[in-house]
Amino acid sequence: MLTVLLIVAALVVGVGLMTGLRIVPQAKVMVVERLGRFHHVAHSGLNVLIPLMDSPRAIEMRTGNRYLRSNTVDLREQVMGFDTVQVITHDNVTMEVGSVIYYQITDPAKTLYQVENLALAIEQLTMTNLRNIMGGLTLDQTLTSRETVNTKLRIVLDEATEKWGVKVTRVELREIEPPQAIKDAMAKQMTAERERRAEVTKAEGDKAAAILQAEGEKISRILRAEAERDAEVARAEGHKRAVVLEAEAKAEATRLVFEAVHSGRATPEILALRYLETLQELGKGDNKVFVPYEASAALGSVGMLKELFAKEGTAATPAGKPAPSAAALSAQSLARSVMQPPQAQPVRRGASPAQDE
């Protein structure tokens, strides 16, 4: 009988020891209660619990759409996604918004004793704050300010869950679905906006092209005017150079003729012959007036005398009647010699024509 009792006692002790030994995985902890009260937190590794006195506190966690109870608390960062909820924007547009939050348990004791169901509390808190934030924004702001909504929602959830021993690390809006009518209106607006931008771009292109064309024509006219000016200057310089060269050529020809005449000692007969040749050249054509070579000198002297007589007549007074000057007497004698016909020179007898020449 004693042996049976010892065996039963040994079995009870063995079962108690087996149930008192608990192994906690890495990155997880176990909240241990003794006689129904919080005792300590068992960390990863081998832990010994007193049978019938110590017991782990179970926690309810959400995995997907299911809630699971576990004796250990996971300290890793958790992901919780929510179905789309209907929200109303500030401009009375109803849309469906889905979100995802990332959180991490920092104090397992607070998580178990400060809130009854952590997953449900976070879900309801997220939905209500999401409706509040989206209700303060217009439709365009909700579509273009996702980062602002994410930041505001994360700050609100982090402040609310801090007393639960939870740290909300990140919040993301998964999807925003406006009504179909709003989608159609947005599509039409987007099409109209793109057409407007295309028209503006085309108008700016036409404007730039017109400006470039005008600038090109302006530069072309300026270059054409400069080219014409340079051409006129070049032609004027060429004409000037040609005139100068022609004048220099005539001067050089006259100088050469003069030197040839003086060096060759031309006689009056040769000069008269050249005079006749020149008259022959000048006689080619109509409407010509010829002045004899012998009368040119006489006409020039007459003109000079006329001027001298005019000056003498204006200088003399009727009362005084002064005597004529030497210049006047010389001019009068010169005029008489010019007006008298030339006398024939006597020809010496016995002189040959060659000697006369």
Find residue 103's DSSP bridge partners: 78, 168
Cβ–Cβ under 8 Å, residues 301 and 338: yes
pLDDT given for residue 292 in this prediction: 56
- Which pLDDT belongs to residue 306? 55
C-beta of residue 105 within 8 angstroms of C-beta of residue 165:
yes
Tokens of 95: 């849309």
In this prediction, residue 64 carries a pLDDT of: 66
pLDDT tens for residues 232-280?
999 999 999 999 998 888 888 888 877 776 776 666 766 677 667 776 6
**Separation CA 149–CA 50 (nearest Å):** 50
Report the alpha-carbon distance of residue 77 to residue 105 in Å, rounded. Answer: 7
Instruction: Report whether 100 contacts 79 (CB < 8 A).
Output: yes
Q: Which residues of the chain, if any, have pLDDT below 70?
A: 12-17, 64-65, 261, 264-267, 269-271, 274-275, 279-357
Residue boundaries of the structural domains of the chain: 8-57, 74-178
Q: Residue 99 corresponds to which tokens in the numbers above?
A: 């979100």
Strand segments (E) across 7-148: 21-24, 28-34, 37-42, 45-48, 54-56, 59-63, 66-70, 73-74, 77-81, 85-88, 94-105
What is the tens place of the pLDDT at every residue in 78-122? 888 888 888 888 888 888 898 899 999 999 999 889 888 888 888
CATH domain 74-178 topology:
Tetrahydropterin Synthase; Chain A (3.30.479)
pTM here?
0.51
Chain-centre distance of CA 10, in angstroms? 94
Distance CA 141, CA 148 (A): 9
Rounded to 10 degrees, what is the CA torsion of 36, 38, 40, 41? Answer: 100
Q: Which two tokens stand for residue 344?
A: 């024939």
pLDDT at 314: 52
| In contact, 174 and 100? CB cutoff 8 Å | yes
